[in-house]
Structure 1
Amino acid sequence: MAFWRTLSKLCKELNDLHIEALSVIANCLEDTDTMVLIQQTGGLKMFLTFAENSTVPDIQKNAAKAITKAAYDAENRKLFHEQEVEKCLVTLLGSENDGTKIAASQAISAMCENSGSKDFFNNQGIPQLVQLLKSDNEEVREAAALALANLTTCSPANANAVAEADGIDPLIHTLSSKRDGAIANAATVLTNMAMQEPLRVSIQGHDIMHAIISPLCSANTVVQSKAALAVAATACDVEARTEFRNSGGLEPLVELLRSKNDEVRRHASWAIVVCASDELMAVELCRLGALDILEEVNLSVSRKNKFSEAAYNKLLNNNLSLKYSQTGYLSSSNIISDGFYDYGRIKRGAKFLSLKELCLQEPSDLHTVLLINSKFSDVSPPPSTEDKSSDVGYGRSISSSSSLRRASKEKANAGLVSPTEMLDLYLHAPTSGRNTVLSKSAAKEKGLRKGRGKKEEEKVKEEEEVMIVPKLVGEGSSDKEWCCPSDPDFCVYVSEVTKSILPIISIREQIEVLAKYVAEKMGGEISKEKLHDFSWQLHISELKFQLKSNVVPIGYIKKGTFYHRALLFKALADKIGVGSSLVRGEYGRAWNEVKLMNESRKGVIGGLPPPEVYIVDLMFHPGGLIKLKSREADLYRFL
């Protein structure tokens, strides 16, 4: 310790030796044993006092650097905390010298590993660091952001302190910094803050979804990684995701899935999981190629990760039309919603057309696209086109807007309008043109009744054109507008099964009654011997001709075979909460699988066996339940 006393004396007597002496002290502080001796002799306390009270910027800067180097050791951090090094560092943050501010911020970053120090900086330190984020010096901003990133990691209290110090706005502004380190650190702080919902809402209010796009496009992998993580933390609700999409954020996010950097790919996948939480976003991400990229990534043992697999599954599960087309399977947890369409089997890599694209195609011999849609409108649907001279029967349909409204009210009272459906209506309203078209049609109909007195049959014809032809054009408008074809008969189906089947207590009985209902609506029971005489193909062809489209709403089909009936059963079962899967087979076969407990085991004490899987017979003996893997089940599934 004679060396330490001599060095201290020199520092007091010779000002020009202060800087060099501090360099030697810094080396001494890095050694834990020496650090303990210095602390025991009072030298550490004197060193901190000297650094805090010095008026020479380089001395303060070098003192802070010495603390930083020593603080990488846990025992040294503990000793520093006991000597209240935090007060010294907060004082140094107020220096007029940028170099000192940078060094002090870096020292705080190192001291954050000590929980006591982290708590101290909650009230003293964080407000000063937030002020440094507003500095004109990019290096100062980077160092301050680094300190805040470490302070807020696993510390909700410090994250709140940043918000209380009005730190959100300067952090958002730092995302446009010229220094990659500053951007990455700011993104980390925002991510840490967004873990708390109130703070996340505040961050979203500062245009984070637009500001984060530039970092996503960075060439720096650290920035890319932190930016993707920030997206995952902040895009947690529909409004934020919509803003992110409208700002053009999905494209660069999808590109990050191609990254060769493991962390970038992992965080981008996580962000995709969050962004694909609703169907609209999932469909858009698939359109941008996210699903294809993730499929390629997951085929690579070295590139795939749990997040890439989760992202792939999330995209498919929120784009059920694509999932069923690619995999031929929907589980009981895959709930069919309005707008679902059976595109038919598609090969991997082939383009999957949207419903709008399919509706705008001319009718052809291509595979018939089956549509599920129980949404209601104020426009009168087409009357039944059943012709007594023809074997094409559309059956019962709703023929007035008042009937539709009654059915809509019944559905709402039955609790069938889910939050997801309401959300879907909200998202589509401003962009799809659906409301605009319908309101124009309704207004036009009202004007005709009051004014020109159009003949009833002409009004019916006009309404028929509006609802049947899925190419809707506003009169006098240069822009073609499109809306999803309606299905009044399916609306009736939903209402009827809700009233008659939903109240049934037994799940088995619900399944059996629903199966009979579906079979009745699609041609009734068919014996195996007469299956080839069932002229469903002609019926479907006539529907496509009358609708002028390859897209046929499921309710229009009155002669349906295996895959028509299986889809209708699944769609109705999902509406009333009956668990059912949908499986596509070969040669037009499809079937539903349900799980039921063995009723003979009811009341038995002890562990219950797993439920048994049955195939629902919708063709030969409607309502029958066939055990999976039985010979009878194979006869039903395969030719």
Structure 2
Amino acid sequence: MGKKTGNEKEKEDKEAFEPLSLESKAPGTVVLLLSSQEEDILVKASEAIHKFAEKGEENKVVLLGLGALEPLCKLIDHSNKVIRRNALMALGIMATNGEVSDALKEEDVIPLLLQKLAPEEDVVVHEFATLCLASLAVDFTCRVQINTNDGMPPLIKLLSSPDPDVAKNSLEIIFNLVQDVESLEVLHELGGIPPLLELLKSDFPVIQHLALQTFQRVTTDLETRKTFREELGFERFLDLLDNMDFNDLHAEVLQTVSNCLGDIETLQLIHNNGGLTRLMEFLFAPSSPEIQCIAIKCITRAAQSSESCNVFHEQMMEKVLVELLSAADDNVKASACQAIAAMSFHPCSKDRFRELEGIPIVVQLLHSESSALREAATQALSSLTHSNKANALAVYEAGGHEILIQLLSESSSITVASSAATLSNMAEQENIKSSILSLESIQALVEPLKSTDTQVLISSALCVAQLACGNTEREKFHKAGGLEPLVNLLHSNDKEVLKHACLAVYACAGDTSCAVKMCRLGALEILQEINQSANRRSSFSELAMTNLLNSNLPVKYSRMGRLSANDIITSGFFDAGQACVGQPFLTLEELIRQPLNQQRAIIVFNIPNEDAVDLAEDRKTSPTESEICSMKKGRITPKKKKEKDKPDEDVLPEKSPIPFGDVSVHMLIKEAKDCVYQLTDEREQYAALARLVSEVMGGAVPREKLHELGWVMDHSQLRFQLKSNVLPIGMINKGTYCHRALLFKCLVDTIGKSCTLVRGDYNRAWNEILLFKVDSEHPRFSVPCRYIVDLMHQPGALLPIDSPVAQQYQTI
């Protein structure tokens, strides 16, 4: 090649750009330089950015606003080692700011950062890559990304880094990762426990605290606890507890011990190593209340196992806990109550707490101003009194029932649930139940039934079931508005809530007015739906429905079409016909208020009061139409037979179900008694009663002349006369199968005999009776036989239940 001529060299010199020495005090200018193609500029710019970010939080936010994040993320993968390191240092420092960290989540930087954890990278790169990842790992989506990119293995290796900052950052990332269950398993599988234990020996408290916090989390996993035990982790923890130089770590050590004491193997290990004795020393040591509370928490956790509780029982732990109930700090007393609650699940401890006179102390704690302490005290009493009458009596003697009723209005769901559960336990004893009921406890349970907390609903419903055992209590509960929230609980999908709601419905349904109200609220339809479900049906729902129907016979007959011999009809019963699906069942009062209509008449059995009876007996006849109208208004025109000089009075008492009495039915009852009681043969008694019913309802009717009976016209005339759709059964002069069967059942039940009432189709109804006849093969024995009573064609005939004539009587 020839040499350049002078002219060429001169031209080249003129075109060359002279090197520029640039200095800038504007961060915006430096951020722009991060996009340069020259390595020297990138080195200086990234270093300047790092130094600027180190000076304060405001600078980090300024750099974010200037757009430094994106170019820095690109530069951490630069081929130049210095540029790569400087950019990573700048990014790591900036990422410690919350705003920068949030913005960094939007960048796809996690895979690049994980690459920088490789062993060949220098310590500085490890430090700032882990610092950046630690800021990101707080976020769930970032943790998922770290796991997806297999980030756990290099992080575990870096726990053993000689650089404390690298170890600390890596530990912080792992702590955040193990908040997710999947990472717990990964850490265990990759052998992360031994290096974690080694970090307990660190000279840096921040690393020790982080390691302990990580252990608190990882020891919630059973398999990890096993490894922890195998790696002599408990021995190391006990060494820390024995060393007062590490008293700042004791709280966190005890938290981890608490997690592990649920395993009987661990408990036995600690017990054999003297750890339980050391643990009990912490309960009374002149340490902080916080340490005492955590130590008690360890006891509470361990006491959930019966084997552990036996160990504590041998160590007289109950005595220690009772003494702690008198501690100065409310948190310590609350923790002691929780431990008592845990240990009281075991009968041996229940009795010992009572013998140590701990129950009156716990009762006194119910008066505390601390809501947390009241909450814990109610939990202790609930556990102490469960299936233990002696403890329930001790609570009662200490006056606990009075304050427990007041606590039913607390805002804490735990307090309310535990108070209701304790009252239920106490109410199993009749004398205590009476005292509880005298304090308006049944009314205090209404609000808890509206709770959204499952345990409150279970306990309060159980308490209602326990206390609503008499009509007075049920009436109070009804008036307080308790039935509506109770019925609403039947919609619950929680099996325990539903079970206890059914128990409470069963108890309340013992009162007719409550049963009627619950039916109006839809309880019957809900229970029918439940009992048709394979998943929700239970013996409790079936019992609730049975009792609800048994206490509301008009509904039972309407819905089920059958009354058994045990279903005794009383005054106020009415037949409103077969229930239609989806149609509400109206009360008698509602039916009476309806205007005349074309629907079937409602037949009512209503025994009159004495005034109406006196009037009828005086006349020896049924009331006239004008007198009936007066009775409907609640008054009669003639004066009373026995007090003729007195002014007119209301005929019916206040609680009469309808505004006029059925004087005719009263006379029928009297005639039935005279007719039946003079006969000794039971068969003849039923036959005579059947003939009486037939006689008053139009007499015998041949099957082929049923259409000539004219009962429809008779009922229409009576409805017009009474101006009501409700017809008293004693006023009916013509009746078909359904009317005669109803009257027969009413008379039979009233005079103390027994029969069923069964509804068929097309106005058919019949009565079944049970009689005993001599067994032809064994004359010394009698066998029960069921008969249908003929009230229509051959009144008084008893038709064997399976005979063709009986089948014909039941069908058209």
Q: 1:487 to 1:91 in 2, by over 3 A?
A: same
Tell me what 2:225 maps to.
Answer: none
Alignment partner of 1:619 is 2:792: yes
Tell me what 1:594 maps to.
Answer: 769
Q: Which residue, out of 706, 713, 717, partners 1:542?
A: 717
Q: Which residue, out of 487, 497, 520, partners 2:695?
A: 520
User: Are the counterparts in 1 of residues 282 and 291 from structure 2 also a CA contact under 8 Å?
Assistant: no
Amino acid at match of 2:390: A
Pair member with larger Rg: 2
Q: 1:501 to 1:101 in 2, by over 3 A?
A: same
2: distance between equivalents of 1:600 and 1:509? 20
Q: Which residue, out of 404, 420, 444, partners 1:211?
A: 444
Q: 1:316 to 1:43 in 2, by over 3 A?
A: closer
Alignment partner of 1:359 is 2:592: yes
* 1:42-191 alignment runs, 5 A limit: 44=276, 47-48=279-280, 51-52=283-284, 54=286, 56-123=288-355, 124-191=357-424
Amino acid at match of 1:275: C
Shift of residue 23 of structure 1? 5.5
**SS of equivalent residue, structure 1 residue 301:** coil
Q: 1:601 to 1:151 in 2, by over 3 A?
A: farther
1: distance between equivalents of 2:572 and 2:683? 28
Shift of residue 530 of structure 1? 3.6
Tell me what 2:71 maps to.
Answer: none
Tell me what 2:532 maps to.
Answer: 299
Alignment partner of 1:240 is 2:478: no
Shift of residue 556 of structure 1? 1.3
Amino acid at match of 2:328: E
Tell me what 1:407 maps to.
Answer: none
2: distance between equivalents of 1:442 and 1:221? 60
Tell me what 2:732 maps to.
Answer: 557
Q: 1:5 to 1:208 in 2, by over 3 A?
A: closer
Shift of residue 32 of structure 1? 4.0
Amino acid at match of 1:116: C
Alignment partner of 1:220 is 2:453: yes
User: Are the counterparts in 1 of residues 241 and 250 from structure 2 also a CA contact under 8 Å?
Assistant: no
- After superposition, what is the alpha-carbon deviation per residue over 1:293-313, rounded to whole angstroms, capped at 9, x for unaligned? 222222332233222222222
Amino acid at match of 2:585: F
What TM-score, normalized by structure 1, do the two folds share? 0.80
**SS of equivalent residue, structure 2 residue 354:** coil
1: distance between equivalents of 2:364 and 2:286? 23
Q: 1:250 to 1:598 in 2, by over 3 A?
A: same
Q: 1:30 to 1:538 in 2, by over 3 A?
A: closer
Tell me what 1:259 maps to.
Answer: 492
Shift of residue 499 of structure 1? 3.9
1: distance between equivalents of 2:387 and 2:608? 46
- After superposition, what is the alpha-carbon deviation per residue over 1:282-302, rounded to whole angstroms, capped at 9, x for unaligned? 111111111122222223322
1: distance between equivalents of 2:579 and 2:318? 64
User: Are the counterparts in 2 of residues 507 and 578 from structure 1 also a CA contact under 8 Å?
Assistant: no
Shift of residue 397 of structure 1? 4.5
1: distance between equivalents of 2:468 and 2:260? 48
User: Are the counterparts in 2 of residues 381 and 398 from structure 1 also a CA contact under 8 Å?
Assistant: no
Tell me what 2:748 maps to.
Answer: 573
Amino acid at match of 2:785: E
Tell me what 2:806 maps to.
Answer: 633
2: distance between equivalents of 1:191 and 1:63? 32
Tell me what 1:427 maps to.
Answer: none
1: distance between equivalents of 2:694 and 2:286? 91
Shift of residue 8 of structure 1? 7.7
* Count of residues paired in the alignment: 571
- After superposition, what is the alpha-carbon deviation per residue over 1:242-301, rounded to whole angstroms, capped at 9, x for unaligned? 111111111111111112222212211211111111211111111111112222222332
**SS of equivalent residue, structure 1 residue 121:** helix
Shift of residue 612 of structure 1? 2.5
**What percentage of aligned pairs have identical amino acids?**
41
Tell me what 1:493 maps to.
Answer: 668
User: Are the counterparts in 2 of residues 235 and 241 from structure 1 also a CA contact under 8 Å?
Assistant: yes
Structure 1, 322-331 or 246-255: larger mean CA deviation:
322-331
Q: Give structure 1 stretches of 5+ with no counterpart.
A: 387-394, 400-433, 453-458, 475-480
Tell me what 2:146 maps to.
Answer: none
Shift of residue 99 of structure 1? 1.5
Structure number with greater CO (CA < 8 Å, separation at least 6) is: 1
2: distance between equivalents of 1:363 and 1:275? 35
User: Are the counterparts in 2 of residues 544 and 552 from structure 1 also a CA contact under 8 Å?
Assistant: yes
What TM-score, normalized by structure 2, do the two folds share? 0.64
Shift of residue 212 of structure 1? 1.1
**SS of equivalent residue, structure 1 residue 574:** helix
Q: 1:219 to 1:503 in 2, by over 3 A?
A: farther
Amino acid at match of 2:696: K
Shift of residue 133 of structure 1? 1.6
1: distance between equivalents of 2:618 and 2:612? 17
2: distance between equivalents of 1:34 and 1:352? 63
Q: 1:58 to 1:615 in 2, by over 3 A?
A: same
Amino acid at match of 1:193: M
1: distance between equivalents of 2:345 and 2:251? 28
**SS of equivalent residue, structure 1 residue 570:** helix
Amino acid at match of 1:108: I
2: distance between equivalents of 1:155 and 1:482? 45
Structure 1, 526-535 or 123-132: larger mean CA deviation:
526-535
Structure 1, 275-284 or 324-333: larger mean CA deviation:
324-333
Amino acid at match of 2:600: H
Shift of residue 93 of structure 1? 1.0
- After superposition, what is the alpha-carbon deviation per residue over 1:357-402, rounded to whole angstroms, capped at 9, x for unaligned? 222233343312111122423356765999xxxxxxxx95499xxx
Shift of residue 54 of structure 1? 4.1
**SS of equivalent residue, structure 2 residue 456:** helix
- After superposition, what is the alpha-carbon deviation per residue over 1:79-128, rounded to whole angstroms, capped at 9, x for unaligned? 21122111110111111212211211111111113222100122522111
1: distance between equivalents of 2:646 and 2:455? 68
Q: 1:264 to 1:8 in 2, by over 3 A?
A: closer
Structure 1, 68-77 or 482-491: larger mean CA deviation:
482-491
Structure 1, 51-60 or 184-193: larger mean CA deviation:
51-60
Q: Which residue, out of 271, 275, 285, partners 2:504?
A: 271
User: Are the counterparts in 2 of residues 378 and 442 from structure 1 also a CA contact under 8 Å?
Assistant: no
User: Are the counterparts in 2 of residues 10 and 17 from structure 1 also a CA contact under 8 Å?
Assistant: no
Structure 1, 148-157 or 172-181: larger mean CA deviation:
172-181
Q: 1:559 to 1:33 in 2, by over 3 A?
A: closer
Tell me what 2:563 maps to.
Answer: 330
1: distance between equivalents of 2:716 and 2:602? 12
Shift of residue 152 of structure 1? 0.9
2: distance between equivalents of 1:381 and 1:540? 26
Shift of residue 34 of structure 1? 6.3
Q: 1:443 to 1:186 in 2, by over 3 A?
A: farther
* 1:427-442 alignment runs, 5 A limit: none
Tell me what 1:531 maps to.
Answer: 706
Shift of residue 62 of structure 1? 2.6
User: Are the counterparts in 2 of residues 397 and 492 from structure 1 also a CA contact under 8 Å?
Assistant: no
Amino acid at match of 1:545: F
Shift of residue 484 of structure 1? 4.0
Tell me what 1:347 maps to.
Answer: 580
User: Are the counterparts in 1 of residues 612 and 661 from structure 2 also a CA contact under 8 Å?
Assistant: no
